Amino acid sequence: MGAYLSNPGSGRPKIHKYGRSNIEKGITEGPSTNIAASPAGYNEAETPLFLATQSGCLQIVKEILKTYPQAVEHIDDEGRNILHVAIKYRQLEIFELVKEKEAPMRRLVRKIDNNGNTILHMVGVKRKDFVPEKMEGPALVLHEELHWYQRVKDVSLPHFLNHQNNMRLTAEALFASANVDLRLTSKEWLKHTTEGCSLVAILIATVAFAAAYTVPGGSNESTGYPVLINEPFFVVFTVSDVLSLTFSLASVVMFLSILTSPFRLEDFKNSLPNKMNVGFTFLFLSVCLMMVAFAATILLMIKNKENWAKIVLYTCSLIPVAIFSLSYFPVYVGTSITRGCKYLANKGKQLIPRSFQALLKDSSRFSKSSSPSIPY
């Protein structure tokens, strides 16, 4: 199906206007209605609902919609509804709140603003004053943008995918053109990051490989077996050294797969971030196991029965791991573990039959309603 121009007035809900109270009249008609007195980036003609949506004030939005449910269908002077504003300002909680309202959503997703933009077009509309709250890499920012596009696409009408706005751009074309610079920056950032991590992984693999042939204590000249083979820490050294070599080589493979990637826009959605997280996980494990092998080697070479000496040796050997963890683990938790848990939770919900989910909800409600009150 070729691209086409939809009628901007199609599916246009009736424009709802707020009744102005005395306070609002005083604000709009008073002497302080000049543009300089309004917050930066906000239009004075916008309603409190839209201002709260732009600012991400979820509680205010809930109170407005609870007191005045019809406000969800309000349209501003630019022809935008609350979905347009929530998507433009990337307010996920407000977007999910509005999405739960099934009846208004059927009308809100059909709205086209005065510039011919659907709600899917708003994902490609870039705010000049937008700064991500989390100081993430550009590839992770693009990853979030792609997930925003998919999130809005799931609730959009299928025939709106080929709708062109007044600039003759579909939502996909507008999103791609708006993220050209971000895509190039993400590509360079990924290359520099993976090259640096690859060097560290290769260095660890080299050390682990050399340590496997220079075992602590040396080998017996007559038998060829290690002298300290019967020591318990020798097993710890062997296992940790082999695993460190394995994980470091696995991380090198993952980083090389990133470097050889075509870096398509779709690759930044799941493929490249997942490879980056897996490679970084293997690198982190290889560093930790290398430190364990180092501690086991020290304890094998220095047979000291003093407990304090062992504690000092363990502490000194684990200092690099602690520094590495404090530097990179918070970023890793925010990017991979959290998303991985959400992904597994969503997959788990899909595996549970809907009838069983409804039964669990009913049982929880029954338990709450039948719980006896405790007399005081």
Note whether 105 and 143 are within 8 A (CB): no
Convert the pLDDT of each residue in 129-164 to its tens digit: 555 555 567 888 888 899 999 999 999 999 899 999
CA angle 363, 368, 374 (to 5 degrees): 145
Query: Which residue is associated with the tokens 């989910």?
Result: 357
153, HSE (Cβ side, Cα atoms, 13 Å): 14
Helix or strand (DSSP H, E) at 147: helix 138-155
Q: Between 222 and 93, where is the model more confident?
A: 93
Domain spans of the chain, in order of start: 22-178, 184-346
Beta-strand ranges (E) seen in the chain are none
How many residues in total does the chain contain? 376
Q: With 70 as the cut, is the pLDDT of residue 210 above it?
A: yes
Residue 83 vs residues 12, 72, 123, 230: alpha-carbon distances, Å: 14, 9, 11, 69
Percent of the chain with pLDDT over 90: 27
The yes-or-no answer to whether 22-178 and 184-346 have a common fold is no
What CATH number does the domain located at 184-346 have?
1.20.140
Distance, CA of 211 to CA of 203 (rounded, Å): 12
Distance, CA of 242 to CA of 288 (rounded, Å): 12
Q: With 50 as the cut, is the pLDDT of residue 20 above it?
A: no
Nearest to 293 by CA among 358, 212, 249, 237: 237
Q: Between 315 and 86, where is the model more confident?
A: 86
Distance, CA of 110 to CA of 8 (rounded, Å): 10
Query: Is the torsion defined by CA of 88, 89, 90, 91 positive or negative?
Result: negative
Note whether 267 and 139 are within 8 A (CB): no
What CATH number does the domain located at 22-178 have?
1.25.40.20
pLDDT in the model for residue 93: 92
Nearest to 181 by CA among 133, 141, 149: 141
Note whether 292 and 236 are within 8 A (CB): yes
Taking residue 179's Cβ as centre, other Cβ atoms within 10 Å add up to: 22
pLDDT bracket for residue 291 (50, 70, 90): confident
Convert the pLDDT of each residue in 35-76 to its tens digit: 333 344 444 457 888 999 988 899 999 999 999 988 898 888
Q: With 50 as the cut, is the pLDDT of residue 28 above it?
A: no
- Calculate mean pLDDT across residues 186-204: 89
Helix or strand (DSSP H, E) at 182: helix 180-213
Q: Which amino acid is at 105?
A: M
Distance, CA of 326 to CA of 336 (rounded, Å): 16
Convert the pLDDT of each residue in 213-247 to its tens digit: 777 666 666 666 666 666 777 788 888 888 999 99
Distance, CA of 171 to CA of 179 (rounded, Å): 12
